[in-house]
Structure 1
């Protein structure tokens, strides 16, 4: 019997869906039939919501696809699905729940559902024990919030969602709280929610009773911002020309020492300008957005003392506290005594612990608080009973702490550590010399006289460091070079127009010149007037004058140096107030400041640079590589050795036997052919040509005699 082709649209939902989208009015009756069928299916489904229902899945997707065609008929359809999910969200079948979520997302994309209603429902669904659903919802929430803030930030919606997430963090369900933290962290990394409120909401997760939430929040504050690949601040036209820095070498005699010094100056100037031209980059900007860093550090430290967490979690907590203390200059004195107990060479992750104590050091910490820490490092690490690597790590840790808190190291301990500059191991020697170089630029008076190095203009301009004192200058340091260059131009013009007999002498500007002349004249007058005095008295006065001459010279030198520095400061202050400095002026000032670190207090006296990093730039956070930096020639691995060998074989003649035949097609001798044969093929021939030793001859003779004896 042939089946009649009746109307099959009620059974073929994809075809009916396509027709309704083309012509909604013509298929309105078929749609009403499917709507009634959907309502009946819902009533049956609610009797057993934990069972899968394929018919319901098909009808829900059909209604969601054609919802924009019949807005009046399906006005309550989104809310009906939301109510169904809220009522049976934990007992629904996984496939049914996923299908309902997809239908709601489809309605949201068509603008038939408010974003707040859907996002709040999805946050509640994060409690479900369905990992694939939670991952699906997380991706949708991030994408939806990103699209909502694509053109302009929706402040009202963001505030509502942030408040809801703040309540979700306090949820007893660990999965929902963890997912909420992950969503906020991802939105912050995508620069969607990068405001202070988001950061402070995540900060509350550090005190959560759920370990996963706490660890995720701590890792957020331990992350780093991505490096900016393209920086518009750098300009190739502003590069410092090192030739201008060492212009004096152009006219001096060319020696090997001056060439070496010039190469170091070029590297120094280029490195300094490269650091200065780059925009300041913070290791992590989220820590700077906290409202109450002092309270957060105190709560984290109190939680660390009271609770017994895993060692890895303790390390993360110590790291966050150290960053808070270092970046915000906080006071948490118990932190230093707490971390001292972990400062042992055999302690696990001891280099990271030393990094934390260096990060927690800043100029406002009292020296009495940091000094016991330095003594502990010196007693436990910097002793000859330990290995050289342990000693070098300890010296590097002391250097990093003193770079941020220079008043914490005493003079006796510094001089003891400076004696390791001649240690037999290179790692310890270089670490000690780096500590000496640091104090040459910070507090050279603590070093021994032989360790201070030759004085420079920069070392003479160093101000004394006092606790709590801020060295604020009201002028641009080095701006006096602009006035001196103008005087130099006038000098060149006058020297060109003058006669050949005139000679110009470079004299230091000081007010002591005239006083010295007057004093000399007065001394001469006194000598003439004192000729009639007794000889004993005159001899005594001569002895006193001869003894006081060196002291007088030292006092005059100190006075002239001090007055010269004051004059330079006044000139720099004058230039800063009276002129608008251009980029060219700042270039000249930078070059003058570089020259101060290379030039002695007397003009024309140059000194070599012991270290290109003449002034240690203090960063916000301490790099672990600075503490683990051990000067030792590491062994290459196998891959590196193979690459080195192959690189050395490039453009080299082939090693081995060289064929010297003029015609390569002609035959070879047997001797030439034997060079390409396997050794086992010609071993018997080679062995026959070798002369036998005396012992071999004895053995052969003995065997021969034995053989003859047996034959008889």
Structure 2
């Protein structure tokens, strides 16, 4: 059948739509376009450097309808692959991008395998086209993510991983950088988050001769796993319950109905998120197989490296985290760090942070001693500024937090003397060091600096190097036995109270027979009432006296209780508590509520025996293995403002503020004012003649004037 006036060959979009709806009816038109594509492709190969719009449109059309004519399109994907392989570097950027989009479309329809496309795209990375590289990187990550969406194909993943690992060793900068970026992105997306990926980045990426690859790998180990973020900021701003309640009373509009529907969807998402099991992501440093060997190789690289100072700092940061996390022994690291600890050194606070991160209890005191001495000699001296001294004391505190034996007793006493220093920043830093040793090793302090002893301080033991305090009981579990005894006492007291009430009720309901009823005369009733009044007065006096006595006894008892609470426990009593805790741990399985009680009891031990304010513990306190830079840079100091600084803050506060004083109500500033408004700005000498004529009227005169005004208004109307 011949179609006259057929416009479809010139309108590929319309033809594409019709072919997808009814492939059999438009098979001739499709074959005609396929023949046109082969002819155009032969012409294009004569001059592949030029962009051919016709070839672009025909290739995209055929890629869209490939699934409709699979037998005719068997060789089509290979033709495009051959063009890109043959002329990959000389193709026009737009032409290369168009052909890549065709291949991605065919990959989404499973006409091209993932591995073949990955191999081709890595060969295209060498082209000088930044947009193409970003586009291909996004596709590779998305494709691997989709492959692992429902289930993980371990064989395919292993093949793809091995190929990307070989690309990571490539000498081409762009290829190796793309490979490491893909691996890092897939790790953060929890697709390839196994130890194989992490160790390949550690062994190949961190020791690459290409600086960009090495920096990206080091940043990967320094970055913390991203926490799950909410889908949108509006979810946090909108409270579902408040919106639903307010909609009951407000006027119903379409806008409010849409808002309610949106809030219901958000509420469902929040509910699903709460019900979803938490995902625990570990840092990549935890997954390294040979942490000791990795740290030694990195340190050797730093010593012989000619890289920029920032790159060296990143390497030192990774080494310090490895040492602190895995309790490694790298004794040459501490003298190397000690040489950099000078107040004028660039990024010195970060270097102090690295020194603190590399400290742990298994480091011998004589090994870490050069770091402490360098800080003491270069920072904590009065020839430096107070800020430098405070930073040095803070760094010593962070090191001693992780390695209490790093400092000698004599040096600690020297640092403690700064507790009465004239500058607050140094004084607070020294006191924080004292507080640390009060809670860890109070015997290293003088008796006057140890503070009042508490139950927790009596339980502390001064450990030697390498000693581990292992307990065969759960500390604080004796509180569970005490709480059970209190509950039993309450039950017993409640039972006795109920029995007494029942007996009283029975006494009131005793028999009321006719023989027991006594009928008295009026005189007898009056005598009885008088006697009762006298007895009631005596009873009131007795009860008041008893109440005063009871209150006195209660106050005395309360004082005794306070004294017993403030009393210091003896070692025998502490030993008895430990014995009780051991018995409780042997005969009971602890619940979450039991552990909460134990935790509260352990906190009370720090203040028991001492009258102090209530201890407030932040449950969200970050107990991470890393040292916060803010803890070292934290300086307690109130900055002094000179006159210029204060004036600057004053002027800054006046910005975008309305002018104070008289407010002009005119809409147009340029229009004229009334005489009454002008009179407000005139001097009194100019208007005193008018003020004289203003005489105060009496109430009668005001009445007459108001009456005349009303009459006049009535006549006018």
TM (norm. structure 1) is 0.71
> For the residues of structure 2 that align with 1:676 and 1:124, how far apart are their CA atoms?
92
SS across alignment from 1:72: coil
Whether 2:300 is the aligned partner of 1:302: answer yes
Residues 581 and 20 of structure 1: is their aligned pair in 2 closer, same or farther, counting only changes over 3 Å? Answer: closer
| Deviation of 1:165 (Å) | 1.1
- Alignment match, 1:582: 591
> For the residues of structure 2 that align with 1:676 and 1:138, how far apart are their CA atoms?
82
Whether 2:577 is the aligned partner of 1:568: answer yes
> For the residues of structure 1 that align with 2:150 and 2:646, how far apart are their CA atoms?
52
| Deviation of 1:333 (Å) | 0.9
> For the residues of structure 2 that align with 1:465 and 1:675, how far apart are their CA atoms?
87
- Alignment match, 1:323: 321
- Alignment match, 1:360: 358
What are the equivalent positions in structure 2 for 1:619-698 lying under 5 Å apart?
619-634=624-639, 673-674=681-682
Question: Which segments of 5 or more consecutive residues in structure 1 lack a partner in the other structure?
Answer: 231-278, 510-556, 658-664, 683-712
C-alpha RMSD of the superposition? 4.0
Q: Is the 8 A contact 1:224 1:283 kept in 2?
A: no
Whether 2:148 is the aligned partner of 1:139: answer no
Residues 460 and 36 of structure 1: is their aligned pair in 2 closer, same or farther, counting only changes over 3 Å? Answer: same
> For the residues of structure 1 that align with 2:341 and 2:365, how far apart are their CA atoms?
19
| Deviation of 1:486 (Å) | 4.4
> For the residues of structure 2 that align with 1:229 and 1:577, how far apart are their CA atoms?
43
| Deviation of 1:595 (Å) | 1.5
CA offsets 1:249-289 (integer angstroms, 9 cap, x no match):
xxxxxxxxxxxxxxxxxxxxxxxxxxxxxx99999611112
Q: Is the 8 A contact 2:188 2:226 kept in 1?
A: no
Residues 477 and 415 of structure 1: is their aligned pair in 2 closer, same or farther, counting only changes over 3 Å? Answer: same
Q: Is the 8 A contact 1:457 1:596 kept in 2?
A: yes
Whether 2:403 is the aligned partner of 1:405: answer yes
| Structure 1 runs, 4 residues or longer, greater than 6 Å off | 279-284, 489-497, 500-509, 609-614, 635-647, 654-657, 665-670
- Alignment match, 2:209: 209
Residues 282 and 367 of structure 1: is their aligned pair in 2 closer, same or farther, counting only changes over 3 Å? Answer: farther
What are the equivalent positions in structure 2 for 1:390-469 lying under 5 Å apart?
390-469=388-467
SS across alignment from 2:67: coil
> For the residues of structure 2 that align with 1:202 and 1:448, how far apart are their CA atoms?
50
Whether 2:233 is the aligned partner of 1:221: answer no
> For the residues of structure 2 that align with 1:490 and 1:112, how far apart are their CA atoms?
75
Q: Is the 8 A contact 1:403 1:618 kept in 2?
A: no
Question: Which segments of 5 or more consecutive residues in structure 2 lack a partner in the other structure?
Answer: 231-276, 498-549, 664-673, 688-717
Residues 283 and 115 of structure 1: is their aligned pair in 2 closer, same or farther, counting only changes over 3 Å? Answer: closer
What are the equivalent positions in structure 2 for 1:421-570 lying under 5 Å apart?
421-487=419-485, 561-570=570-579
Whether 2:78 is the aligned partner of 1:86: answer no
CA offsets 1:414-473 (integer angstroms, 9 cap, x no match):
000000000000000000000000000111111111100010000001122222222222
> For the residues of structure 1 that align with 2:368 and 2:166, how far apart are their CA atoms?
41
Residues 591 and 10 of structure 1: is their aligned pair in 2 closer, same or farther, counting only changes over 3 Å? Answer: closer
| Deviation of 1:63 (Å) | 1.7
- Alignment match, 2:156: 157
| Deviation of 1:109 (Å) | 1.6
- Alignment match, 2:543: none
- Alignment match, 1:109: 108
Higher relative contact order (CA 8 A, sep 6+): 1
- Alignment match, 2:541: none
SS across alignment from 1:469: coil
- Alignment match, 2:36: 37
TM (norm. structure 2) is 0.71
Q: Is the 8 A contact 2:199 2:289 kept in 1?
A: yes
| Deviation of 1:169 (Å) | 0.8
> For the residues of structure 2 that align with 1:222 and 1:95, how far apart are their CA atoms?
38
> For the residues of structure 2 that align with 1:86 and 1:668, how far apart are their CA atoms?
86
Q: Is the 8 A contact 1:126 1:134 kept in 2?
A: yes
Q: Is the 8 A contact 1:126 1:175 kept in 2?
A: yes
| Deviation of 1:669 (Å) | 12
Whether 2:120 is the aligned partner of 1:121: answer yes
Q: Is the 8 A contact 1:169 1:177 kept in 2?
A: yes
Greater CA drift, 302-311 or 285-294: 285-294
**How many matched pairs?**
564
